Amino acid sequence: MNQDQNAPLREDVRLLGEELGAVLREQAGEQLFDTVETIRQAAVESRGQGEMQVGRLRELLDPLDDDTLLEVARAFSQFLNLANIAEQRHRERLHRNHQRYPGDPDTDRGLQQVLAELEKADVGQEKIRSVLEGLSVELVLTAHPTEVTRRTLIRKYDQVADLLTTLDRADLTEEEGQRLRRHLHELILSAWSTDEIRRERPTPVDEAKWGFATIEQSLWRAVPEGMREIEAELAQAGLPPMPADWVPIRFASWMGGDRDGNPNVTAAVTREVLLLARWMAADLYLRDVENLLADLSMHRASDELLAYTGPSHEPYRVILRQVRDRLRNTRAAMEARVNGQPQPTGEGYSSGSQLFDELSLIDRSLREVGLAAIADGQLKDTLRRLNCFGITLLRLDIRQESTRHTDTLDAITRYLGLGGYADWSEAEKQQFLLAELENRRPLVDEAFYQSELCDDDIMQVLETCKVIAEQGPEGLGAYVISMARTSSDVLAVMLLQKIAGVCHPMRVVPLFETLDDLNNAGDTMSALLNIPLYKQRVLDGQEVMIGYSDSAKDAGFLGAAWAQFRTQEKLTAIFRNHGIPLTLFHGRGGSISRGGSPTRMALLSQPPGSVAGRIRVTEQGEMIRFKYGRPSVAAYNLEQYVAATLEATLMPPAQPRPEWRKEMDRLTEVSVASYRQVVRDDPALVAYLRTVTPETELSRLALGSRPARRKPGGGVETLRAIPWVFAWTQIRLMLPAWLGTGAALESALETADETDILRAMSEQWPFFQGVVDMLEMVLAKTDTRVASWYEERLTNDAELIRLGDTLRERLARTVSALQRLTGRESLLDNNPVMRWSIRVRDPYTDPLHLLQAELMARLRNRESDPVLESALMVTIAGIAAGMRNTG
């Protein structure tokens, strides 16, 4: 294997840069090209000297008028997007190498390696097969406002990536190569000529359609492709074939169902999204069936099938035409319901089993008459899609904040003359809820809905439950309660579903988010399981969601990570003792402070026994595009989830040693106190956030349908975790990912004994290894000098300057402490690909940072300026692309 496996990446970056330069010359003129190139060279030279020379860059940027500033920002932003395409393409290239060179230590660990390790560990094939058969990985697509690139540009970038793939071919003629270069030039020209800023904020329905598009354009192909690769690796390891309908990965969504703090997600929106998903599913299956109709022309068929079709020269087509008609009817019915039109005549599909039965009949017949090879082709792919996506495309979760349920029940009890539910003790609430759950009579009459107590907010909660009642269970996933704190929070949702007449109740999933709620989660769930009625209802399994975003905002990264670990340990033990299967639902985001990390690292760093063949994970915003936007990358990532879940189940990490636990307790005590000393106790923090970072300006960017704040005004506590992370990322301070952790490491490294314990933890404990590796990655993206530019340009307030100096000093000390722990002089010495990626981006992000600070200053002195506002939005999007992480 080529020693320099990253040479093709550098070549792709060079090629894309050349073509972008040519487009700049053509479209903006030689003068702008020279300006951009001069700025880039100055940034390269400054970085080469080890520190940015701000004065030199300012000399180049200050004379530029507003229109030129916009074009310069666009040029640097465009290059960063193209660099991302090159990296994505290189990831695909390395994935192929992973398959070709499975022993290469520089490539990821896939299913083949896991199976080999299991064999070495004498884990029997029966055990492996048993775990695989029951394996359940559910990926929940969420529309958090982090995807800053317009869909129209994403399509163009995908075409660029496809061209890079074709240019990799060794058998291209010179003429073919030139033609492909011309096409590449056209695509980059088209991207340059397209407005990169989304001008209108997407609606929740728009977000849901974006999720559907990811399935249509990538996952629809990736699931069967990934399954074929998994099947081949299992066969290579000597394992017997899995059942034909085996698909261990499924998809759910929060898009159109997540109403926590988003007033735009109404019951009507949820209903529309569910119908549109059914429409899209019918349309995709219809395309599959049209292809099967074209291919399955053979006449040999089983007696079972011929008994169904009657005599025919093309019996398979007889069934497939019926399937096609029913899918068309289903699609027409969904469209009519969305548009409020009369229902068309004709039988459609009301359940996935109906479609599965008809396709399975064809499958059995083909195998019985010796045509198994045909059955294993497109038909098998369609059956696998059906087992993965169902006829609803996605299972939609509902998420709502616990106080909204309390308010609703409070209105009901007041209407009934029982007093205020919100004022009752926990015991009184439980007594009322349990009595009403077992009571057969209706709790409220129609007059309640017309009363003054049933205001718009109360009606939305009740109407949402009515939507749940309308839907069959196939299209619905979990009802997630954010800010869940008590047993009554869970029982309340069960009662609200009963009030709405839900025949197949959604499973109710408490989400424990803050540090206190995580620490109390075990007691809350134990109390629930001690209620006979509740325990009876969850005998088949309980799901609990672990919050990463708000816990990190509350306690800092390290404190939250340890609380999450201990909470999972407690919950795993509790449910094991009760004999009830537990699925842990991880609410991860893309950034380290929101739980982001590579798949294998994330799963193997969980407490032993907590995975147990079942995992549920959120995939959000930009991470959906990075991991699942292209079929080959998506197929690889799906295999990674299967491999990592299997490994974490059958070869879980050892229990942490007692001295490691004590050390983590000490570390987190220092970390949480240090973090809160700044975030909660320093009165300058909120003003610093809103003055020095673009937190205020982010509201101008049409990122997502949800407001940036849970409540207007207020401090950090009202700010959502995503814009909180996004704002600090834009100025390269990355505060949520390290604040407090550095102080904890410094404290521990003061003594030789604790230093030895820390090093043993980082070498032998996957949980702490993950903490250290992710901290190193995020610290490599920080830059104290960049952060200081914003401060120098945007404030002269002594208190804010004081805080800025403190934060940069803390950051520098965190880097120093990490270097002492790892023994590496430079960050990412152990990850040359990441180190090169950051280095190649710096000359393009540096000018964007300076531009952004200047634009923020100018705009804050003006009421409105469309050109400057556009330029600012471009810098936000460009820096997000350069950092490869927004929140």
Q: Which residues are catalytic?
A: 144, 553
CA–CA gap between residue 336 and residue 344 (Å, rounded) = 7
The dihedral formed by the CA atoms of 845, 850, 852 and 858, expressed in degrees to the nearest 10:
-170
Find all residues with CB under 8 Å of 621, minimum gap 6, and list them. 142, 143, 144, 145, 146, 147, 589, 590, 704, 886, 887
Report yes or no: 481 and 510 within 8 Å, Cβ to Cβ: yes
Burial 766-780 (b: 16+ CB within 10 A, else e): bbbbbbbbbbbbbbb
CB 189 within 8 A of CB 240: no
Cα distance between residue 846 and residue 144, in whole Å: 27
CA distance 692 to 784: 13
Backbone angles phi, psi at 618, to 5 degrees: -80, 140
Residue for token digits 């698909």?
Answer: 247
d(CA 258, CA 269): 11
The span from the CA of 737 to the CA of 728, in Å, is 10
The residue among 790, 787, 834, 845 whose CA lies nearest residue 811 is 787
> What angle (nearest 5°) sits at the alpha carbon of residue 638, between those of residues 607 and 834?
80
Nearest to 337 by CA among 407, 422, 257, 273: 273
Q: How far is CA 461 from the centre of its chain?
A: 26
What per-residue string of b and e applies to 386-397 under the rule 16 or more CB within 10 Å gives b? Answer: bbbbbbbbbbbb
Q: What are phi and psi of 280, to 5 degrees?
A: -65, -40
DSSP state of 376: I
Distances (CA, A) of 295 to 313, 316, 378: 14, 10, 9
| Token pair belonging to 336 | 């009519």
- Number of continuous H segments (helices) and E segments (strands) in the chain: 39, 8
3-state secondary structure of 879: helix
Give the span between the Cα atoms of 178 and 866, in whole angstroms: 40
Q: How many CB atoms lie within 10 A of CB 749?
A: 17
Token look-up 């701000």 returns 54
Say how far residue 152 (Cα) sits from the centre of its chain. 21
Tokens for 315? 């019996």
- Cα–Cα dist 424/426, whole Å: 7
C-alpha to C-alpha distance for 783 and 797, rounded to whole angstroms: 22
CA atoms within 13 A on the CB side of 370: 2
Q: Is 540 helix (H, G, I), strand (E, B) or coil?
A: coil
The rounded Cα 259 to chain-centroid distance in angstroms is 17
**Backbone φ and ψ of 511, nearest 5°:** -110, 115
Calpha distance 832→10 (Å, rounded): 13
791, amino acid identity: E
- The two beta strands, 542-547 and 249-253, are unpaired
Nearest by Cα to 560 from 740, 382, 730, 381: 740
Tell me the C-alpha distance between 594 and 608, whole Å.
22
Distance from C-alpha of 663 to C-alpha of 762, rounded to nearest angstrom:
12
Alpha carbons 686 and 683: distance in angstroms, whole number: 7
